[in-house]
Structure 1
Amino acid sequence: MATHPATPAAPPAEAVYRRIGWRIIPFLILCYFVAYLDRVNIGFAQLQMKGDLGFSDAVYGLGAGIFFLGYFLFEVPSNLILHRVGARVWIARIMITWGLISALTLFVTTPTQFYVMRFLLGVAEAGFFPGIILYLTYWYPAARRSQMTAWFMSAVPLSGLIGGPVSGWILHHFHGHHGWAGWQWLFVLEGLPAVVLGIVTLFYLDNGIKHAKWLNADEKNALQHALDQEAQTKPAHSALQGMADPRVWLMALIYFSVVIGLYGLSFWLPLLIKSTGVTDPLTIGWLVALPYGVSVVAMILVGRSSDKRHERRWHVAIPALIGAVGLALSTLWSTDTTLAMVALTLATVGIMVVLPLFWALPNAFLAGTAAAAGIALINALGNLAGFFGPSIIGWVKQTTQSTNGGILVLAAFMVLCAVLVLLTPKLQK
C-alpha cells in the first residue's frame, strides 16, 4: 500500500496568535509589574527609610544594588530548571518566595539586615525575567517576538506609571498607622500581591503549546510547525556551548551597558526629582509616573516598527543615544523641576525602548537548551550592572554631595551600548 508524505501544517492564522496574546501576555505583564515594583520600590522607601534607620547614601546604594549579586549567582541554574520542569511550577515558586521576602523587609533595622534581605530577594527572583523571555520562544517565532517582548516589558514603565503614585500614596497616608512607618507598609502592601499571583500561576499558566487546552489540535500543529521550521535554521547546541558562544558574551556586555542606566535611574529617580525642590512623597510619585507613561507608548510603537521593518540594530542604537542625551541634560538642569523632568523623560524613554528590542539580537541565534542557558547568562551578567549603577551614584553622591558625576557615568555606558550594537553583525530577522 502506497504511503504519502504528511501534509505540512498550514501557517497559523493571525487570529490564533491574537488569542495567544490575550491569553498569556496580560498575565505576564501583571506578574512582571509586581516583580519590578518589588525590586525598585526601595527607591521610594529610601525617602523615609534612610532617615528612620540612619542609613547613608552609600549604604542605601550598596543595599539597592546587592540584590543583583544574588540574582547573578542563581540566574543560569534557575533558567535551566525552568526549561526542565516547566514554566508554570517554576514561575509560581519564584513569585511566592520573592513576595514573602519583599514583605519581610519591613523588619530591617541595620545595614547588615538590609544587605541580607536584598541579597535574598535577588536569589528568590533570579530566573523570572529570562524565564519569561525563554517562555515566549515556546509560543512565538522571531518575526513576532519583539512586539510581544515589548508588550511584556511594558510592565517596567507601567510599574513607574502606576507604582510611582501608589508608592507615594502609601508613604504619605500610611505613615504611623499601627506604629509602622510608611516604608514598612510599602514593603508589605507591594510584596504580598506577588504571593497571590504565584498561587494563581499554578492554575493559569500553560507550559507551552501542547499543554494549552484552549487550542485545538490543528492550531497546535500549525503553531508548532512554525516554530520547528525556524529551529531548523539554528544549529542545536548544549547549555555549555550556548554559554561559551562569543556572541553571547558580546550580548552580555551590550545588556550590561543599558541595564546600568536602567537601575541607576530607577533606584535614584525619586531622589533626583526631590533634589529639584519637590518634597511631598505623593507629588514625587506623580512626577515619577510622567517619564514612565511616555515610555509605555514609545516601547510599543518602536517595537512594532522594528518587527515591521525586520530591523533591530538602529532601533536599539538610536534610543540608547537618546537615553544618554537625556541623562547628560539632567545634570545640567538638576535645579529646575520642569527642565529636569524633560531630561529625565528623555533618559527614561531611551532606556526603556532599548530593553525589549535588545532581546531580538540573542534570540536570533540561540535555541533550545542553549537558549535557556545563553539568555540566562546574558541577563545575569547584564544585571550585574544593577549592582554597580546604584552603588556608583550612591558613592559619588556621598563623596561629592551631587549625583551628577554618577549620572554622567550612566550616560557614557548608554553611548557604549549604541556603539556595540551598531558593530554587531546582522544576526536578527
Structure 2
Amino acid sequence: MDTLHQSRMLDALGLNRRMNGESAAGTETYDVIVFGGGSAGCVAAIQAARTGRRTALVEKNGVLGGTTTVASVNFPGLFHAWGKQVIRGIGWEIIEQTVKLGGAKLPDFSVTPAKHWHQQVLVNRFIYSAVLDRLCLDAGVHLRLHEMPAAIVPAEDGYDVALAGKTGLTWVKAAKLIDATGDANVTGMMGYPRKKGEVLQPGTLINDIGGYNLAEVSREQLEQIYTEALAKGEVSRSRSGLYHELKVGRINMHVQGIDGSNSETKTQAEIKAREMLLNTVSLLRKVPGCENLEVRYFAGECGIRETWRIEGETEVDEQSYISGYVWPDAVCYSFYPIDLHHHSGYHIEQKMIPQGVVPTLPYRALIPKGSDDLLVAGRCAAGDRMANSAFRVQASCMATGQAAGLAASIAAERRISVREVPMDVLRAQLQRFGAIVPQAD
C-alpha cells in the first residue's frame, strides 16, 4: 500500500488526527472506562458510576458476566471463610439480587464445609446476567456491548480510545481506565510490563450430555473401548473416567496446550476444545446404551484459567497469600486454596489455607508498574502463578473490581495519579459502599 493511500485510509478511520493529538468534536467523554464485563469489570463499573463518575463498560460479548455466563463457570465463590463473611459489597449485592429473583440458593455459611467448593453459589446464568444489566443501568453505566479496544492514544486530560464495533471504529475519551479483560489486554496495548508462564494451565469447555441409558452401559466394555481409542490417539485422557462422566451427565475436560491471551491463540483454543468434546462423544456412541448420546449444551467459550499477569507496584506471592499477611494497603480479602491445574495432565496442585487464616490483596497489586491512569482488576492482578491460581476466582475478582472502580473514581475526580490515591480515603469509601476491608493488627 503506498503512503498516500495509507494516509487516506487512516484519515477515514480518524487515526491520523488522533495520533497528531487532535480530537474530533462530539466525541463521547467518560471519567472512567472499564474494559471487560466479567466479575471484576461489572463491579468496577457499577462502583465508579455510583460515585457520580461518567462510566462506560466495554464488553466484547453481547452478555455481561464473563466466565460465569459465557464459559458457564456459574458458581461464584468464595464469599465466606471459617463461618463468617469476608467479601461483601457490590459483588455480594449481585448474588443477593440473583437469589431474590429465584436464580440461586445460598448454602449454609455458618459451618466450615468438608470441601471448600461446597460454599460456592450456583447461579442461573440468565437471571444472573439480567441482574448485571439492571444494576449497571440503574447505576448509570453506559453499556457498550459488542465492542473491543482497538487503540489507546494519550491525549489532553486523558486518552483517546478507539473501540472496534459492528460498524467500524468509534472514538471516545477517558480520564482513567480499568483493565478487567482477564488477560491484561489493555495493559499490553498501553505498553506496561506483563508476564506469563512458559506453560499455562489447561482450559475447560463446560457441557451437558444426555440421550443415553446408563443402565445398559457395561462399565468393563466402556473401559475397553476407551483404552483402545486412547492408545490410538483418537481421544484425550478422561479427567475422572468416562463412566463417572456418564453418571454426572458432563464430560470433564482439561484442554491442554492452549493460550487464550490473544485472538489467534484463543481461536485455536476454542477449536481444540470443541474437537476434544466431539471426539469423546463419537467414542461414547460406539458403546451399547450410548448410541443416541448427544451434547445438549456447551458453553460459548472455553474457560481460560491463566494467561497474562501484570507486573504491579507490588506482587502477591504464595507465602504472603497462604500466611494471611495483611498488606499495609490491603483493600480486600480473598479466600480460595492454591489451585494450580497442571498443564500436562489432570493433576491439580492444591494447598489449603490454614485454619482461621484469610488472605488479603493489596491495592498496589492492581497498579501496573509506573501507571498513572490505568488500574487492573480480576485475575490479571500482580501475583505469582501459585497465588494467582487462588485469587483468580469470581468473588475475589469482584472485590478487586470494587477497589479499582472506586480508586479510579477518586483519581478522576481529584485529577491525580492512581498511585496517589489516599489509602485512608479509599478504604473508608470502600466500607461506606458495603465492602469488607482488612484491618491490620
Bucket of the pairwise TM-score, normalised by the shorter protein? under 0.3
Higher relative contact order (CA 8 A, sep 6+): 1
Q: TM-score, normalised by structure 1?
A: 0.25
* More strand, by proportion: 2
Q: TM-score, normalised by structure 2?
A: 0.25
